[in-house]
Amino acid sequence: MKTVLAYSGGLDTSVCIKWIQEKYDSEVITLTVDVGQKRNFKLIEERAKKLGVLKHYYIDAKEEFVLNYVFPAIKANAMYEGVYPLSSALSRPLIASKLVEIAEKEGASAVAHGCTGKGNDQVRFEVTIHALNPELKVIAPVREWNLNREDEVKYLKESGLDIEIEQGGVYSIDQNLWGRSIEGGVLEHPDVEPPEDIYEWTSPIEKTPQEPQYVKIGFSKGVPTQIDGESMKPVELIRELNVIAGRHGIGRIEHLEDRLVGIKSREVYECPAALVLLKAHKDLEKSILTRHELEFKSLVDDEWSRLVYFGLWMDPLKEDLEAFINSTQERVSGEVKLKLYKGNAVVVGRSSKNMLYDLNLATYGLESTFNQKASEGFIELWGLQTKLARKIASRELENV
Contact flag: residue 76 with ligand ARG (CB under 6 A): no
Q: For ligand ARG, which stretch binds (CB under 6 A), given 115-123, 271-279, 338-346, 368-376?
A: 115-123
Name the β-bridge partners of 349: 337
Considering the candidates 88, 121, 181, 301, report the single residue annotated as catalytic.
121
Is 172 among the catalytic positions?
yes
Those residues with Cβ within 8 angstroms of residue 368's Cβ, 6 or more apart along the chain or in another chain: 360, 361
Cα–Cα distance for residue pair 149/354, rounded to 1 Å: 55
CB 379 to ligand ARG: min, Å: 48
Nearer to ligand ARG, 270 or 283 (CB): 270
Q: Which of 45, 64, 152, 267 binds ligand ARG (CB under 6 A)?
A: 267
Smallest CA-to-CA distance from 13 within 32, 36, 39, 27 is with 32
> How many positions of this chain bind ligand ARG (CB under 6 A)?
11
Using CA atoms, how far residue 74 sits from 68, 126, 343, in Å, is 11, 25, 21
Nearest to 15 by CA among 159, 197, 176: 159
Residue (47 or 113) nearer to ligand ARG, CB: 113
List the interface residues with ligand ARG, window 375-394 (CB under 6 A).
none
Q: Considering the complex, state which of residue 310 and residue 324 has its C-beta at the smaller distance from ligand ARG.
A: 310
* CB-side neighbour CA atoms (13 Å) of 38: 11
**Binding of ligand ARG at residue 88 (CB under 6 A)?**
yes
Residue 122 vs 328, nearer CB to ligand ARG? 122
Write the binding mask 140 to 179 for ligand ARG: x where contact by CB under 6 A, - elsewhere: --------------------------------x-x-----
**Known catalytic residues?**
12, 92, 121, 172
Q: Which residues bind ligand ARG (CB under 6 A)?
A: 88-89, 119-121, 172, 174, 181, 183, 257, 267
